[in-house]
Amino acid sequence: MEGTIRCSANYVPLTPISFLERSAVVYRERLSLVYGDHVKFTWQQTRDRSVKLASSLVTRFQISHGDVVAVLAPNIPEMYELHFAVPMAGSVLCNLNIRHPSKMVSTLLKHSNAKLIFVDYEFVHIAKGAIEIISRSTSSVPQLILISDSSKLSVPPTPDILDYESLLEMGSLDFEIRRPKDECDPIAVNYTSGTTSSPKGVVCNHRGAYLNSLAVVLLNEMPSMPVHLWVVPMFHCNGWCMIWGMAAQGGTNVCLRKVTAKGIFESISRHKVTHMGGAPTILNMIVNAPASERIPLPGKVVVKTGGAPPPSQVVFSMEKLGFDVYHSYGLTETYGPGIVCTWKPEWDSLPLETRAKIKSRQGLNHIGMEEVDVKDPVTMKSVPWDAKTMGEVMFRGNTVMNGYLKDTKATQDAFKDGWFRSGDLGVRHSDGYIELKDRSKDIIISGGENISTIEVESVLFRHQAVLEAAVVGRPDDHWGETPCAFVKLKEGYKLDGDDIIAYCRDNLPHYMAPRTVVFEELPKTSTGKIQKFVLREKAKALGNDLAKGKSKL
């Protein structure tokens, strides 16, 4: 309109860097990070340390716009700072999974073309192994920077490797922060977590990170100055965007190197934690903690869960302990949480079972995600809201990734017809809420019937003896596939496969009940997701189920 101007007074590219800059003033003297007995920082310190580190990256390593800086570290203060320092240097943070072996780390370092890798002391052998592998084929290897554990004052700096603190101390506070020129410039590359066997490099941008951070603050009903316990790995979707969200709200981040039920209860009690997050397996760990490790909560603790639908028994038990569980769902491609099961007060008076069923639904798009729908992936028609018709869950919005690094084909496939295709299958209930039924590659097709492995698993979880369970398809000449359950029992319980099968047949249509039950420890990703591709391999190795299976129907 006539008379108006766009200039630096009224247009600033969106970036989570702004959250830290603001909190460094508004919450300057308040605690940003606490870790162990010795480490405490204020928001002003966190900002200043991030700026100094950014300055060192630029002056010592000539890091320039768009360069990739990798990190291999658990939930420690340095990992938090790197999420600001690396973008402040104009560069892109590549979060590596601390469970990866050297081989995988070398693949990802090469793929992302990382110039530097920051490595926590516990994982130096992995990083060194990876660099050794890379050096066999090229002379351009990433520079390793060691993060000594700042909580252990006795760890001496290693003379032959540059140390995080030394590098930071070389930095200058006069450094001019390199904000993104375009807010859609990349801020991070996160490799998909490995529920499939081939990680892809998901590129996220400043705008999406800014918007998803505010969305996760809002969907967690997080007021200003919360106290957040770090259980969700920070390397996983940048801690479900809560790293940046906490800077927005000026809260206190409680870091935890190793996740144990004891550590969780102690941290909550000691720091008066108000918020935390964790996959259902973490919730399971909490509710099954021995009485000796439990400490009564100092107040209400809001827990966001996701990554897999939380079994209703686990939700009940958590709420009995005083936790308030929010269930959200998303993917690395949606910056972590993309939809949330918004709880309505009118549901409070429903019977326990009904409430748990609703809570295990994935729900609807949060405020940062423009649209979510369940569609036929071929015709792109929306499925009816009948709680039955399955389709693929698809997203549109500013909190969907830029694409897959160096894989235009995969990006185009993922964005076909203008929607991001999640690969997850779900239905819509009459109120519009989405319920996931399965990953499209996890679903079992048996005798022409679709079997939702999630549905079978949720029945297994209701059995009092079952600690963990996962169901995959086992090849079958007659049926195509039959359900095969992998189960871990709680301590002190003894059951055999037939007990489990009989129980499932009592609670499910017969064709959905497992035909095979294997008792064992379940393989998981570092974010607590069960690695179904590993189980599928095992089920395949069991061979054809024909003889045994047929007699049971």
Which residues in the 60-79 window bind a copy of itself by CB under 8 A?
66
Which residues in the 163-202 window bind a copy of itself by CB under 8 A?
184, 186, 189, 201
Q: CA-CA distance, 71 to 116, in Å (whole number)?
A: 8
Which residues in the 79-118 window bind a copy of itself by CB under 8 A?
92
**Binding window for a copy of itself (CB under 8 A); candidates: 168-176, 398-406, 463-471, 511-519:** 398-406
Binder to a copy of itself among 77, 142, 277, 403 (CB under 8 A)? 403
Nearer to a copy of itself, 414 or 504 (CB): 414
Minimum distance of a copy of itself from residue 300's CB (angstroms): 13
User: Which whole-number Å values give the CA distances from 266 to 80, 202, 275, in the listed order?
Assistant: 21, 35, 14
Q: What are the tokens at 363?
A: 């729900």
Q: Does 427 bind a copy of itself (CB under 8 A)?
A: no
How many chain residues are in contact with a copy of itself, going by CB under 8 A? 73
Nearer to a copy of itself, 184 or 467 (CB): 184
Which residues in the 488-547 window bind a copy of itself by CB under 8 A?
none
Minimum distance of a copy of itself from residue 360's CB (angstroms): 18
Burial-class residue 99 by CB neighbours within 10 Å (0-12, 13-18, 19+). Answer: middle
Minimum distance of a copy of itself from residue 82's CB (angstroms): 19
Minimum distance of a copy of itself from residue 377's CB (angstroms): 14
Local structure of 365: helix, strand or coil: strand
Local structure of 421: helix, strand or coil: strand
Phi and psi for 107 in degrees, rounded to 5? Answer: -60, -45
Report the DSSP pairing between strands 323-331 and 301-305.
parallel
**Binding window for a copy of itself (CB under 8 A); candidates: 143-151, 230-238, 285-293, 410-418:** 410-418
Q: Does 423 bind a copy of itself (CB under 8 A)?
A: no
Q: Does 408 bind a copy of itself (CB under 8 A)?
A: yes
Nearer to a copy of itself, 305 or 365 (CB): 365
Q: Does 212 bind a copy of itself (CB under 8 A)?
A: no
Minimum distance of a copy of itself from residue 223's CB (angstroms): 5
Non-local CB neighbours of 519 within 8 Å, separated by 6+ positions: 486, 487, 488, 489, 497
Minimum distance of a copy of itself from residue 253's CB (angstroms): 17
Which residues in the 217-276 window bind a copy of itself by CB under 8 A?
217-218, 221, 223-225, 248-250
Nearer to a copy of itself, 44 or 317 (CB): 44
Q: CA-CA distance, 188 to 70, in Å (whole number)?
A: 10
Which residues in the 366-385 window bind a copy of itself by CB under 8 A?
367, 370-371
Which residues in the 337-356 window bind a copy of itself by CB under 8 A?
342, 344-345
Burial-class residue 485 by CB neighbours within 10 Å (0-12, 13-18, 19+). Answer: buried
User: Which whole-number Å values give the CA distances from 17 to 47, 76, 445, in the listed order?
Assistant: 9, 19, 47
Phi and psi for 276 in degrees, rounded to 5? Answer: -155, 175
User: Which whole-number Å values give the CA distances from 349 to 6, 301, 433, in the listed order?
Assistant: 52, 21, 19
Q: CA-CA distance, 326 to 322, in Å (whole number)?
A: 13
Residue 487 CA, chain-centre distance (Å), reads 23
Q: Does 395 bind a copy of itself (CB under 8 A)?
A: yes
Nearer to a copy of itself, 119 or 254 (CB): 254
